[in-house]
Chain A
Amino acid sequence: MVGHGYIQSVTNQAAEAVSESKVSESAPDRRAIVQIQGVSKLFDDSVAVNNLTLDIYEGEFFSLLGPSGCGKTTTLRMLGGFEEPTSGKILLGGKDVTYLAPYHRDVNTVFQSYALFPHLNIFENVAFGLRRRHIAKSEVASRVGEILEIVDLPGFEKRRASQLSGGQQQRVALARALINEPTLLLLDEPMSALDAKLRHQMQIELKRIQTQVGITFLYVTHDQEEAMTMSDRLAVMRHGVIEGIGSPKDIYDSPTTEFVATFLGASNLLEGQVTESTEATTAVRVAGGAVITLPTERLPHGLSGSSVKVGVRPEKISLISSSSDVGRRNSLRGRVLVSTFTGVGNQYIIELPDETRITVYAQNIGDDTAPRSGEEAILAWPVEHTFAVVPMAGASKEAESES
């Protein structure tokens, strides 16, 4: 697996997550193949991308993740040369390509709808880029054969795009881009037209191909599972701004904003006030009076005032029956509202005394102590699995949490 070497400490990443420069500091041996420097894009006075700065390293699988309208596709299109930034600079392999036409940059794209040439057969589709660059005929033939082998479509040369299934068309689109061995491959939600099962299969396939060819991938998606499965690093975008960046594990375990916490996986968030903070731990008093402890390093930077939301992922919580079992963990008391058996586990919705609802996932590992609806329960989770985020401005909260 490429791209994990530069991530040093999982816990240290938390505080650094938003700050791009710190991530690159922790990767001194990696070359930034793409440098987006203060790029903004305005469309008729609406800001699609807002002062974006981002480095993507050679050979990594990087994902831009966010809801529609977050600016991820605009960012991709600026990298491909299909849109010009309103301000800022884009460097590719150290060279300024900000205003370079798409056909002059060493970047290829897998389009959302594949955009295969309907008038050409698969061979000519895949060979299109090589032919434009006047590669010798014999080399074109051998390279097309090779790449079709890699994407697992040997012998499809003579077919038309319309004769292929969605998954096959996607492989052709991938082959058509990869054959040019670009510095950077852009993928614009390439799996959105595939059904769930095929998508899952292609995720694994795509990751295999990326590892095999070693080309830097920039993958744009609104599907958090897809981004987490394949990426070495990913960035969560909202309103044209990156809200969190890092390895999938870092971002999942230590989200820094409420949006990231709810968009990437599910989170239980409780409003509270910081009451005490030492080097190691910070205590937050949440509504209802309970005190939750978290590692101080997970307190986000730039937290103004003492209002925070403390969070914990549903699968990190255990339901216990006796308060003597809590130990040094955080705990809350509640009543089981709903208990749903999902096969791999149980999903509970627990209501706290102040009517806040907490979701808990318990794995189906064969114990029969699962509490039933209406029963009292104690929720407990380790301090190190607790994080805190900057609360989102109240009103727009509902609209943002689409996923």
Chain B
Amino acid sequence: MSLPAGLWLLLLFVIPLFMMLSMSLKTCSPASGACTMTWSWGELPHVVNQYRAQFVTSLEFAAIATLIDLVISYPIAYWIAFYGGRKKNFFLIMLLVPFFVSFVIRTLVWQFILSDNGFFISFLQNHHLVSQNFHVLGTGFAVIAGLAYNYLPFTALPLYVALERIDRRVLDAAYDLYANRRNAFLRVIVPLSIPGVFAAFLLTFIPAFGDYVNQEILGGTANTMIGTVIQDLFLATSDYAGGASLSIVLLAISLVGIWFYARVLGSRSIEEYL
């Protein structure tokens, strides 16, 4: 049992990770794209400095999008978990159906919705709610909206799992001990759903942080995210060492988040949600 699993882990995780690590220690010629191993550790601090602005933008966008998702998802997950009755699975599938469509196509539809002559902006302009030169596409708002939309299930599902598993008898006990609905929610449901909130945060924030599709399709040139930079370094400028270094930094930041989660809530509770 453990041999095939270990083999997969080695093939699909450990080897690529080492390849990327070693790539970040090489020096590449921008002209030919050829890289030679030079063991230069300088690339890591160099890219962090060079792309600090993009890191900050990514951090901002991912954080705001995650926050939006938490605010939207919590009531949805709460409602399905506590009032979904026998139709819980149906409601969950309804939540997921839009996400059966490809990521890129979904984002392109958002481009259509938010475009300057799309119905959303036109509607606002026709009713004089916004000025005639108002636009969303190409701004950070569009990117955040796209991120929030695309990663919503990653927030809603862990929240649902956390809320669903709350023992209803514990809730009965709260009512029995003079907690009204508001108190039972704040004193019992919310604290017991905290691991789910953390899991939702990680599962949304980490991919949103490294996302480049939303920025590419919905964003402009002024709000480049770190994912876009990595993509450019690999595919446009052939700076494999730089791209690999940035990827390592991204990975390190994500690991810090997971480490923090494990420290606060224990590593077992991570497994329960993934």
- Minimum CB distance partner of B170 in chain A: A115
Partner of B177 from A82, A112, A129 at Cβ < 8 Å: A129
Given contacts A82-B172, A109-B173, A111-B172, contact A129 B178 (CB under 8 A): yes
Question: Which B residues lie within 8 Å of A118 (CB)?
Answer: 170, 192
Complex CA distance for A129 and B176, rounded to whole angstroms: 8
Q: Are B173 and A101 in contact (CB under 8 A)?
A: no
Q: What's the nearest-Cβ distance from chain A to residue B17, in Å?
A: 36
Q: Are A115 and B172 in contact (CB under 8 A)?
A: yes
Complex CA distance for A115 and B174, rounded to whole angstroms: 9
Within 8 Å of chain A (Cβ to Cβ): is B64?
A: no
Question: Which B residues lie within 8 Å of A197 (CB)?
Answer: none
Question: Which A residues lie within 8 Å of B192 (CB)?
Answer: 118-119
Complex CA distance for A132 and B178, rounded to whole angstroms: 6
Q: What's the nearest-Cβ distance from chain A to residue B26, in Å?
A: 49
Q: Are B180 and A103 in contact (CB under 8 A)?
A: yes
Q: Are A117 and B188 in contact (CB under 8 A)?
A: yes
Question: Which A residues lie within 8 Å of B177 (CB)?
Answer: 103, 108, 128-129, 132, 176-177, 180
Within 8 Å of chain B (Cβ to Cβ): is A240?
A: no
Q: Enumerate A128-154 residues with CB–CB distance to B below 8 Å.
A: 128-129, 132-133
Q: Are B179 and A128 in contact (CB under 8 A)?
A: yes
Within 8 Å of chain B (Cβ to Cβ): is A113?
A: yes
- Minimum CB distance partner of B194 in chain A: A119
Within 8 Å of chain B (Cβ to Cβ): is A81?
A: yes
Complex CA distance for A101 and B176, rounded to whole angstroms: 9
Question: Which B residues lie within 8 Å of A116 (CB)?
Answer: 170, 173
- Secondary structure at the A interface, as helix, strand, loop or mixed, is loop
Q: What's the nearest-Cβ distance from chain A to residue B182, in Å?
A: 11
- Secondary structure at the B interface, as helix, strand, loop or mixed, is helix
Q: Enumerate B24-70 residues with CB–CB distance to A below 8 Å.
A: none
Question: Which A residues lie within 8 Å of B173 (CB)?
Answer: 109, 111, 115-117, 176
Question: Which A residues lie within 8 Å of B167 (CB)?
Answer: 113, 115
Question: Which A residues lie within 8 Å of B178 (CB)?
Answer: 103, 129, 132-133, 180
Within 8 Å of chain B (Cβ to Cβ): is A102?
A: yes
Within 8 Å of chain A (Cβ to Cβ): is B13?
A: no
Q: Are A102 and B172 in contact (CB under 8 A)?
A: yes
- Minimum CB distance partner of A120 in chain B: B191
Complex CA distance for A260 and B177, rounded to whole angstroms: 35
Complex CA distance for A81 and B177, rounded to whole angstroms: 12
Complex CA distance for A206 and B172, rounded to whole angstroms: 23
- Minimum CB distance partner of B177 in chain A: A129
Complex CA distance for A193 and B32, rounded to whole angstroms: 73
Q: Are A132 and B172 in contact (CB under 8 A)?
A: no
- Minimum CB distance partner of A126 in chain B: B177
Complex CA distance for A129 and B184, rounded to whole angstroms: 11
Given contacts A117-B188, A118-B192, A119-B191, contact A132 B179 (CB under 8 A): yes
Q: What's the nearest-Cβ distance from chain B to residue A350, in Å?
A: 48
Within 8 Å of chain B (Cβ to Cβ): is A272?
A: no
Q: Of residues A107, A112, A117, which shows the largest number of chain B Cβ atoms within 10 Å of its Cβ?
A: A117
Within 8 Å of chain A (Cβ to Cβ): is B183?
A: yes
Nearest 5 A-B pairs (CB), nearest first?
A129-B177, A132-B178, A115-B169, A115-B173, A102-B175
B-side interface residues toward A, CB under 8 Å?
Answer: 167, 169-170, 172-180, 183, 187-188, 191-192, 194
Q: List 13 A-B contacts (CB under 8 A).
A: A80-B172, A80-B176, A81-B175, A102-B175, A109-B176, A111-B172, A115-B169, A117-B188, A118-B170, A119-B194, A128-B179, A129-B178, A132-B177
